[in-house]
Structure 1
Amino acid sequence: MFPRTIQSKNIGKDCKAANFPSQKPATPGSHQLSEDQLIKIFKRFDTNGDGLLSKEEVKRAYNMLGKSFPGVRTWWALHVGDENGDGYISQEEFNKLVEKNYLT
């Protein structure tokens, strides 16, 4: 198996770093979404309209967004975001996850 060698030292001096994906994680608050935008995003993925995102809805959202490892991402979102331990992500919990940039 070959090691992954895409590192900044391999970028030529004539290349612009902007052409390569950033390896630095986004800082919290680097992209501010309005309250209305957060509500629309939440409602888009709340397919049954109960005001909560279930494990299945979160996984479906990651799949729709084309994210790799949707099962692991779903587990992480529920592990980090489900503050009250009910097994669902509420609108408030969702907003906090977005604010902390845990859903990317």
Structure 2
Amino acid sequence: MLQSRAVISTPNASRILQQLCKHWAHKFETGFTTTAGRIMLPLGETRLAADAEALTIDLAAEDADKLSGLRDVVTRHVERFAFRETLDFVWS
């Protein structure tokens, strides 16, 4: 499994985490609280952690292509839910 992480500064991390998990709950296996979430997408697994200052996103996928696709999908959705903010995604 390949992994990638981004830590995004935002005071709205919990709200974004919950919106993202609720959005995908109708199609995929998800679980979440106000501070942690997990989403199982066909491309791989997304784990989220929220605190007062940041949203941490951890991704895991079987290969580089799936990991790249998962990064793109998650980034687009987080940006959509945080459209009033300018978020900086730096994947490592």
| TM score, norm. by length of structure 2 | 0.33
| TM score, norm. by length of structure 1 | 0.30
Looking at secondary structure, tell me which structure has more strand per residue.
Answer: 2
Of structures 1 and 2, the one scoring higher in RCO (CA 8 A, sep 6+) is 2
Rg larger for: 1
Looking at secondary structure, tell me which structure has more helix per residue.
Answer: 1
